[in-house]
Structures are given as C-alpha cells and as structure tokens.
Amino acid sequence: MAVKDTAVAAQDPDPRRGLRGVRALRELADRLEILQVERARDEGWSWQEIADQLGVSRQAAHKKHGRGR
C-alpha cells in the first residue's frame, strides 16, 4: 500500500510536493542504510559485498560509510 502511495506521489504534478517527497524518502533511506551497513560490517561483510547489495561501487560504499565519513 505504501508503495502504491509512493508511486502516486512520485507523479505529483506539483514539483514542489513531488521533490519534497523524493527528498524525504532519500533521507529516510539514508538512515536505514547507515544502520544496515553498520550491522553488515559488524558481521564481517566486505565493502564489495555491501556495495553489491546496495547497487553501488565498492568505492562509493566505502566513501559514504567508511571511517571519517
């Protein structure tokens, strides 16, 4: 249901509302990503394995979540 609503909002004809929704989703996803990556690292996952799951490059994953982020 949430997914359907999201699809509707993504088609919101008002860019202001549409973009705000997109940003809110990205920021929420960011928070969840932080926790999931943390746990994966704690469980011994390599950056490559994490990157594969996230669909990004190993460098991108490491740059975003590695030390000194």
Q: Is 60 in the site for another protein (CB under 8 A)?
A: no
Amino acid symbol at 63: K
Nearest distance from C-beta of residue 22 to another protein, angstroms: 9
Q: Which residues from 9-48 bind another protein, rule CB under 8 A?
A: 9, 17, 20-21, 23-25, 27-28, 30-32, 34-35, 39
The residue among 31, 12, 34 whose CA lies nearest residue 21 is: 12
- Pick the stretch among 1-9, 45-53, 54-62 that binds another protein (CB under 8 A): 1-9
44 sits in the region (left: phi over 0; alpha: psi -120 to 50; else beta) called left
Alpha helices for 1-69 (secondary structure H): 2-10, 15-42, 47-54, 58-65
Residues that bind another protein (CB under 8 A): 1-2, 4-6, 9, 17, 20-21, 23-25, 27-28, 30-32, 34-35, 39, 69
